[in-house]
Structure 1
Amino acid sequence: MGPVHVPPGEGRTYRMIDGDHVAKAVVEGDGGAFEVFEVISPPAPPAPPHVSPWGGALYLLQGRVTAVVDGTSFDVEPGALVMFPAGKPCTFEVVGETARFLAVTTGDRAGRFFADLAGAVPADRPVEESLAAIDAVTRRHGVAMAGD
């Protein structure tokens, strides 16, 4: 793979109920693949803890979030990083104003999940109205709600 450069403000945006996920790059090489997203997330109730088949790192750029990883809560402030391991229940909640963070996920599946979720679940409707669509998308991509 050659050099990758994505200027500020560019990338495919997926508008989702927990904020905008801007796909910056999918990188594939001999050592595997990973995806890079810029996420802008407003304050809102957190998604229930869920288990993904990919791991990820959240590096907070602006704002504050509370991350919950396998039952342990972390207060995340700008400059901090928290890992979301594959196969462990995880979620996050924005505390106060909008948060902006960099998310790097293992493999090349998270972007397809985000695209499917953004297309199937209106970001401007209450979550309760979209539960069936959310369930269908999560099942298609191997994501499970904790306890399922």
Structure 2
Amino acid sequence: MNTVYVQPGEGQHYPMIDGDHVAKVAIHDDCGAFEVFEMIAPAAPMAPPHVSPWTGVLFLIEGKITAVVDGTTYEVEPGGVVVFPAGTPSTFGVVGESARFVAITSGDGAGRFFADFASSVPADRPVEDSMAAILSVTRRHGVALAAS
């Protein structure tokens, strides 16, 4: 594998309803695969818990978030890390005006999901107005809304 360097501000932007997902790098080597994203998330209502086929590790840089993982709530402050295990109902919400964090996902599916979601679901419309498109994208990528 070759060395990869991504300068600040670079990366593919995927504007989504829960913030801007900036794909920084995708790594595939003999040890496996993972992707790194920078997330800039505004204050917004917390999305319903959802289940993804990849594990997500969130490292908070700025702001504060409330994360809910398998029914347990975590108040995450800068420097804090929360893990969303694959197959586990999880969600987060921004506390205050905005938050910025690094998200590292296992495998190579999250980037494809973010790209499809960003191109299929308007980021500036209420979730309720976009539910059909949201469900279509999630089905294509093995993501499911958790049962209440």
The interval holding the TM-score normalised by the smaller chain is over 0.9
Q: What is residue 48 of structure 1 aligned with on the other side?
A: 48
Query: What displacement does 1:127 show?
Result: 1.0
Question: Aligned partners of 1:125, 1:117: CA distance in 2, in Å?
Answer: 13
Q: Distance in 1 between matches of 2:60 and 2:31?
A: 26
Q: Distance in 1 between matches of 2:88 and 2:127?
A: 23
Q: How does 1:33-44 map to 2 (within 5 A)?
A: 33-44=33-44
What is the aligned length?
148
Alignment of 1:1-148 (within 5 A): 1-147=1-147
Deviation at residue 95 of structure 1 after TM alignment: 0.2
- Quote the Cα distance in structure 1 between the aligned partners of 2:85 and 2:147: 16
Cα distance between partner residues in 2 of 1:108 and 1:41 = 22
What is the deviation of 1:84? 0.4
Amino-acid identity (%): 68
TM-score normalised to the size of structure 2? Answer: 0.99
> Which one-letter code corresponds to 1:80 in the other structure?
G
Distance (Å, rounded) in 2 between the aligned partners of 1:46 and 1:113: 19
SS across alignment from 2:79: coil
- Alignment partner of 2:83: what SS? strand
When normalised by structure 1's length, the TM-score is 0.99
- Distance in 2, matches of 1:9 and 1:61, equals 15
Runs of 4+ in 1 over 2 A off after TM superposition: none
Equivalent residue letter for 1:120: S
Q: Distance in 1 between matches of 2:128 and 2:55?
A: 27
> Which whole-Å CA distance do the structure 2 matches of 1:107 and 1:35 have between them?
7
- Helix, strand or coil at the partner of 1:63: strand
Indicate the structure with greater strand content.
Answer: 2
Q: Which amino acid aligns with 1:71?
A: G
5+ residue gaps, structure 1, are: none
Which letter maps to 1:86?
A
